[in-house]
Structures are given as structure tokens and as C-alpha cells.
A and B are shown apart, each in its own frame.
Chain A
Amino acid sequence: MTTPQPLLEIRNLEKRFELDRGFLETLKFRGGKFVREKRAVHAVNNISLQVAPGEALCVVGESGCGKSTVARLIAGLLNPSAGEIHYDGQRIDNRSRRTLMPLRKKMQMIFQNPYASLNPRMTIQQALEEPVRYHNPSLSRGELRDKVAEVMRAVGVDPSWSSRYPHEFSGGQRQRIAIARALTVDPEFIIADEPISALDVSIQAQVLNLMLEAKDQRGLTYLFITHDLSVVQHFGTKVAVLYLGSVCELSDTATLFENPKHPYTRALLSAVPQLKDDHPNHIRLRGEIPTPINMPKGCPFESRCAHANSRCSAEQPRPIQQPDGSLVACHAVEEERLDG
């Protein structure tokens, strides 16, 4: 099997958020003496991923499992606690903001809330012009105007509305404009953090179509974060399932939906309400979700897993390559004690 050189590669990425900042906050009285104890949120734990050019990697998982943190680390909005991020063969996690400038143009981020991506005090013309001018300072006013009009048409928004402000547009239009803004600088890579979650079904389709078009026509590469598995199945070429900051399964989209292996992936797929199925067969998860502050020693999913045993509570499972190419981090899968 020949794997193309990945556009993005993450190696052993970690992110901890310290909870106690001050020195006094960290002092705890234990066993008759003061000890210094720092608590931290373990948001991302030892994640390794690769995204090849033209691929759409979808990241799924429960709220708080670290999806947005991964996105923000890649976009350079957060610094990792450990690990490496490589883009197009270059390491990018340890570089200054200034040396990353040329890269900013290649990598664009779209947020869940279209308000977060658009400045409410800028007209659409200004919002769309800004990144173009920034990255191409030599363009004339006329050329700028043409470029903006072209981009607006491409996302189905009438260019004659360019002097309007974001609040004058519907949620779907705003999100399409935010995507248009990301596309103005001809990026190679788009990080989209739940770009359609806040939108209605009919509007979701409009935005998803736009992103699909950009993928097909411009060969864009995506890291797409969502919690909607039907969107994953439609849009993703690969899927990473996260649980408490760790990857539990990484697979081709088709393989994942046909043959999910990790117990959490199976529970997740079974929980999706189906349109036409009268007898859903949902796998009930019992037990409490641990917080990323008190990370369990063994498998992060152990407290809710029906297949857990003593090894699971003692030892954290490593991702292991399966015959069909997927990576699965589960002792039971490794020991072949799960059916199917």
C-alpha cells in the first residue's frame, strides 16, 4: 500500500489546561504536611493522526472529548503541551506567529457560530476584502471588488448585497459567507469546527453542498469536526472517533460504518435515531462519564463499557492496526473477545 505524503501529521499530541494558576491554590494539606498539587484538564491525550491531500477527516465524539482543542492546536490558536504537528513536511507547532504567516493563508478555520467568524461591524464587502488584501497587497481596488463579487456568487449570495452587515443575513447565509471568506485566499486546508451544527436541516444541506463543491473543484483537504454521524457518513473519507481526549478508532468512513469495532463506536452508531427503523437496537451505556480532570489509569471508556475487565482498568489500550486498515484502541478487540 502506498500512502501519499500526508498534508497534515500530528504525532503524540497532548494538551493540558492547568486549573490552578496561583502558587497558593496548588498547596494542599495531605498526610500532616503541605504538598504542591496541580490539577489539570487532560483535554488531548497522545493523539496521532495523518490527513492526506484531498482527504476529509471527520472528528467525532461526545461533548468535551477534545475535538475543538485538537482543531485549535492545529490552527495554532493553542500551544500543545507535548507532541508535534507537521504541515506539508514542516514542523509548525514550535514556530513563532510571524514565521507562520505564509501558512495562515494555506490553512483556514471555520467556526460553529457564524458570528464568531464574521465581525459584526464590518460589511460583507469589508469582511471578504480583508483577507484578500492582506495576502495579496498588490491588488488594485477594481481587482479586489471583482474577486469579492466572484466569491459571493460562488457561495450563492447576491453580490449586490455586499454593503450589508452580517446581522442582515440568515444563519445559513452568514455561514456561507464565512466559508466564502475562508475560500477567498485559495487555501489548501480547511479546519471546520461544527460548521453546520447550529443550522436547520434545509440550510445544513446548502452549506454542506458548498463545502463538497470546494472539495471537488479545488481539491481542498478538510479536518471536519461534527457530532452528526449522518454528516460524517456523507462528507468524510476518514473518521477519527475521540473519547476523553484519546482516539479510540480511526478508519475509512465506509469501513467504520460497515464494521465498527471499538465498543464506544458501536454504542455511538447504535444511538443515532434512524428515520425508518421502527425497532431501534440501541446499546445502552451505563455508568458515569469520567471528567478529563481525574483521568482513569486504564482505558478511558472503562466506566461505561460492557466488555471491561481487570486489564482494562489497569492498562491503557494502544491503537492497533486491524486487518481492514483501521486503528482500534481496545483490549477486547485485540484479544478477539468481541464478536463480529
Chain B
Amino acid sequence: MSLLSVRDLSVKFAMRDNTVTALNQISFDLAKGERLGIVGESGAGKSITGFALMNLLSRPGFIDSGKIMFLGDDIVQMPEAKMRNIRGNKMAMIFQDPMVTLNPVLTIGQQMVETLMAHRKLSKAEAEQIAIVKLREVYIPSPEDRLEQYPHELSGGMRQRIVIAIALLLDPQLIIADEPTTALDVTIQADIMELLLELCQSNKVGLILITHDLGVVSQMTERTLVMYAGRIIEAGRTREIINDPQHPYTQGLINALPQQTKPGQRLKQIPGSMPSLTAIPKGCPFSPRCEFVKDRCHTEAPETVQYANVEVACHEVNRLHTDKAEEIKA
């Protein structure tokens, strides 16, 4: 049985006089212990996907249709009491800003012990012991002393490691990490990513890693979803997507990276920018920025098709491929 199976999930926002679609019928699966990356530019719907999976969307956002099957149960239909239990025990979320999770007026020890005691029948002393073990797992030096400290007394990197320790407290089966290292330096980011990877592998925890950094996705995940304007436009094995992207947007994203061009040369930019939810173009949402655009791209939304080992939503996948074949011949 897969850990998570999302089918035709749509999320909308109720605006003053109409609704806008933030997620448009997205579907994907996650096996137990699998690591999945979600990439895309700002506003693509990555965070909204994370919130929907946790059933944490707040008004004016709501799940309009679709299913989120988690260990066989549909989260969309689940009563809040049961969901709260799942959220603590089986799924955990890590945010970009550790202070979303941490309470500034409680010590690290109080927060960890409270979480443990709310979900498990434990004495305070037992809970503290578990907290210390978890802090040690995330390489927090002298964990006994840290229990007494307040979040503001710790560095940003240490705070984020504590958030990871809290996420792991109840041995979840799924961790959703939304840009967990975007606010941190590369050396600290590398430490935290290595740690997450280690913990997921050794405990067989499923991971959904939301980021706009293709390098991070490449090192951390087995499969990747590329999102654009609330849709999944490409999905497949991370290696395939990085090495041989099929969708013009994914190709554009990878080609725009400075390491894809000789130093000092003009970078390959994608013209324009991501549309806002109130002005998503008809047909293919990428059409105003796409160099391969054809007439029907303006009128017909592309279906997702299996192509060259990945799933792509583009009318012109074949054409792109023919071009490539010709390039090779030439």
C-alpha cells in the first residue's frame, strides 16, 4: 500500500466576487519511505499543496474536490479530531521559518515534553529522556542544557534542527518540509539536508521536500514534481527530470541556472513571469512564455502524457523530441 495517494486535488480561494483556482486537479503518489521533491517558482502552489495534505488550509482557501488517501483513509473527509491525531502522530510539517513551529515564550524542553505528553502516556521524566535522545539525533550539542533554553537563545540553524527533532518526536511516517533551509547558509543547509536524508533513510520516513532549489532536489529526492500555476506540469524520477527534462518550463528552469552557461556569458532566461491566480491564461498556462507555443496551446489545456520516462503536460512533447532527434543527426 502506498503511504499517500493524491487524486485530482483542487484547491480554491474564495475571493470577494468569485473563486480562483490555486491547485488544479493534481495527482501523485508517495510510497512508504520515498522522498519526493516539489519544485517551481514562487506562487506555483507548492506551499498550498503542503497545507492541503495536512488539512491545514485556512480561509479563504478550501479543498474544492479530490481525494488525499493517507494510509488508506481520505484526509479530505476526515473529522478534525482524527486529523489532529494524524497530524501529531503520523505526519509532521517543517516550515521555512522555525518560529512558526516554536513558541517563543516556552523553553525547548517544555515544547517537546508537552507535545510528547499530549500524544503518549508518559511521565515528564520519560518525555524528557525521549526529547534528549531526539535532540542528540539531530546533533544538538549538550542536549540536556538546551531543554532549559528559549528559542531566541539559539542560532537559526540550531532552531531548525530543533524543529526537525520536534517533527520526529512521535515517529511520523511522512514529513512535509516546506523550504526548510531557504533562510539558512549553504554550509548549515548542507548539514540539515544530510541530517534529514539520514533520518528518512534509517527510519523509512516518507519525505515531501518543497523547494525552488533544483540542486537541493537533485541531492535529496528520488522523484520530483514540477509545478506551474497550480498544476503539475512534469513528474518523474529526479535524475531523469534533471538530466532530460521534457516540459519547456522545466527545460527553461534548468537552462536558466548560472552553472548551465559559461562564466560571463548571457544566461538563458525565460521571458515574462508566472501569472497571478486571477489571470491564468486559457489553454496551457505557460503559453505566453513558451518558445514552442502553437495555436491550440491558447485554447486547449494539455493532458498529462507519459513520455520518455516522465509524465508531461504539454501538447508539443513530440515536436520537442523531433527537434532533438534532428539536432543529434545534424
Cβ contacts under 8 Å, A203 to chain B: 41, 273
Cβ contacts under 8 Å, A200 to chain B: 41-42, 212, 273-274
Complexed CA–CA distance, A251 and B267 (Å): 24
Report B13-56 CB contacts with A as 1/0, cut-off 8 Å.
Answer: 00000000000000000000000000001100000000000000
Complexed CA–CA distance, A235 and B263 (Å): 7
Cβ contacts under 8 Å, A170 to chain B: 273
- Does B202 interact with chain A (Cβ within 8 Å)? no
Tell me the chain A residues, 148-171 only, with Cβ under 8 Å from chain B.
170-171
Cβ contacts under 8 Å, A202 to chain B: 41, 252-253, 256, 269-270, 273
A280 touches B219 (CB 8 A): yes
How near does chain A come to B16, taking the closest CB pair, in angstroms? 19
B186 touches A268 (CB 8 A): yes
Complexed CA–CA distance, A162 and B78 (Å): 51
Complexed CA–CA distance, A275 and B257 (Å): 10
CB-nearest residue of chain A to B185: A62
Most buried by A among B41, B214, B256: B256
Q: What's the interface size class on B, roughly?
A: 35 or more
A275 touches B273 (CB 8 A): no
* Cβ-neighbour of A253 out of B239, B263, B271 (below 8 A): B263
CB-nearest residue of chain A to B187: A271
B273 touches A172 (CB 8 A): yes
B257 touches A230 (CB 8 A): yes
Report B265-292 CB contacts with A as 1/0, cut-off 8 Å.
Answer: 0111111011000000000000000000
CB-nearest residue of chain B to A202: B270
Cβ contacts under 8 Å, A63 to chain B: 156, 184-185
Cβ contacts under 8 Å, B186 to chain A: 227, 229, 268, 271-272
How near does chain A come to B139, taking the closest CB pair, in angstroms? 8
B258 touches A234 (CB 8 A): yes
Instruction: Report if A274-B215 is in contact (Cβ < 8 Å); known contacts: A202-B253, A209-B266, A268-B186.
Output: yes
B273 touches A201 (CB 8 A): no
Instruction: Report if A233-B256 is in contact (Cβ < 8 Å); known contacts: A202-B269, A276-B243, A282-B190.
Output: no
Cβ contacts under 8 Å, B254 to chain A: 275
How near does chain B come to A245, taking the closest CB pair, in angstroms? 15
Report A7-28 CB contacts with B as 1/0, cut-off 8 Å.
Answer: 0000000000000000000000
B259 touches A273 (CB 8 A): no
Complexed CA–CA distance, A211 and B175 (Å): 40
- Does B216 interact with chain A (Cβ within 8 Å)? yes
B219 touches A273 (CB 8 A): yes
CB-nearest residue of chain B to A285: B187
- Give me the interface of A with B, judged by CB distance under 8 Å: 62-63, 170-173, 200-206, 208-209, 212-213, 227-231, 233-235, 253-254, 267-268, 270-278, 280, 282, 284-285, 288-289
Closest 10 A/B residue pairs (Cβ)? A273-B215, A234-B258, A271-B190, A205-B269, A202-B270, A205-B267, A200-B41, A205-B256, A62-B185, A230-B258
